[in-house]
Structure 1
Amino acid sequence: MAKADKTATMTRLHSAARLARTALASRLLAHGFYAGQDQIMLALDRHDGLTPGQLAARLGVRPPTITKTINRLQAQGFLEKRASEEDARQAHISLTDAGRDAIRAIEKSVRKTEKQALKGLDKKEQKQLHKLLARIEANLSGNSEAEAAEPAEAAEESEAEAETNRA
């Protein structure tokens, strides 16, 4: 096996991820969002009222990174911070009405990018790819396959719900 072949899978995986991020970033920028802001917005759409620490843990980033992005989104009018009733030092982050309205643009950008990325793959291949990517995520994060399947199932439910809403 040639030396280049030993890294071909990781090279392809990295390239596909980079191209997907670039395509999505371009679409999001048209709506005034920068890389990473969409993930915070979508996380809050699913679980409103999270603390910055909870957001950081869910998204796998450092708290200072989350704090900077939250502040930018708050300045744009998409998020608001509220002091916790239990501990005034702790803030809970919520979407504003403008933030909830912006979710539709973010989801549309994600759907268009996904459609572009999956062009030419039938439903069976898409489902297989989804399962394989979940397994790769589990391998790299140290989680079991069962733990990786949970987000995959949630994503399938979310997609089914989105299809119903579009109909």
Structure 2
Amino acid sequence: MDAEAEFGLNVPEYFFYLLFQAVRRRDAAFERALAPLELNLGQWRAISTVRRCGTCSMSDLAAFTAVDRTTLTRSVDQLVRRGLMVRETPATDRRQVHLTLTDRGRAMYDKAVDQLLEFNRTALEGVDETRRREISRGLATVIGNLAPDPKVAEALIRFEPDLMRAARG
């Protein structure tokens, strides 16, 4: 129980309970919003991450989306079949896979991101900028505490593909 009796659970447990509830409810609602574009949440995460990275390895995609590689491979396969993404294997290292968006993929991103921005505005209604920044700093600290390596944590927190590549050496 919360020592101050503000919450029904102790504060750390309540924090993660609310975080889980927020993420799950946001994901479910946003997936419904993506349905008219014939995208699911996993596909959107792949598209948006590759868009941010420019060219993205499967390892970076897995790290930035926090989705396992098997699920990502399925999503990427579907996006490649739809002509939204291309998968390339460099001649210098056949083990690597690089992903980039096609023109159609960038157009799909543009359509979906407009929905995302509107969706986020609605979800964050009543949470002022100061509080959003405070919560974001707190979550960044939690990620830093949980990531396996401080350099990986920094790359995740800053969403910087170059830092992730450097962290992996």
Aligned-pair identity in percent equals: 23
Q: Which residue is equivalent to 1:65?
A: 71
Counterpart CA distance in 1 for 2:85 and 2:14 is 41
Aligned to 1:21: 27
Per-residue deviation, 1:71: 0.5
Q: Report the alpha carbon displacement of residue 53 of structure 1 after superposing the two structures with TM.
A: 3.2
Which runs of structure 2 are paired with 1:44-123 in the superposition (5 Å)? 44-88=50-94, 90-123=96-129
Question: Partners in 1 of 2:64 and 2:88 — Cα distance?
Answer: 20
Q: 1:4 to 1:87 in 2, by over 3 A?
A: same
2:64/2:156 contact within 8 Å kept: no
TM-score by length of 1: 0.76
- In structure 1, the residue matched to 2:45 is 39
Which letter does structure 2 place at the counterpart of 1:75? R
Counterpart in 1 of 2:9? 5
- In 2, the alpha carbon distance for the partners of 1:88 and 1:8 equals 46
**Structure 2: unaligned runs, 5 residues or longer:** 161-169
Closer, same or farther: CA 148–24 of 1 in aligned 2, 3 Å:
farther
Is the contact made by 1:134 and 1:149 (CA closer than 8 Å) also made in structure 2? no
Report how far residue 121 of structure 1 moved: 1.6
Helix, strand or coil for the counterpart of 2:37?
A: coil
Distance 1:81 1:115, change over 3 A: same
User: Unmatched 5+ residue regions in structure 1?
Assistant: 155-167
Cα deviation, residue 15, structure 1: 0.9
- What is the RMSD of the two structures over their aligned residues, measured on CA atoms? 2.8
Deviation >6 Å, runs of 4+: none
Structure 1 residues 89 and 15: CA distance shift in structure 2, 3 A? closer
Is 1:128 the counterpart of 2:128? The answer is no
Corresponding residue pairs, total = 154
Aligned counterparts of 2:46 and 2:134: Cα–Cα separation in 1: 27
Are the structure 2 counterparts of residues 121 and 57 from structure 1 closer, same or farther at C-alpha, using a change threshold of 3 Å? closer
TM-score, with length taken from structure 2: 0.76
CA shift at 1:66, angstroms? 1.7
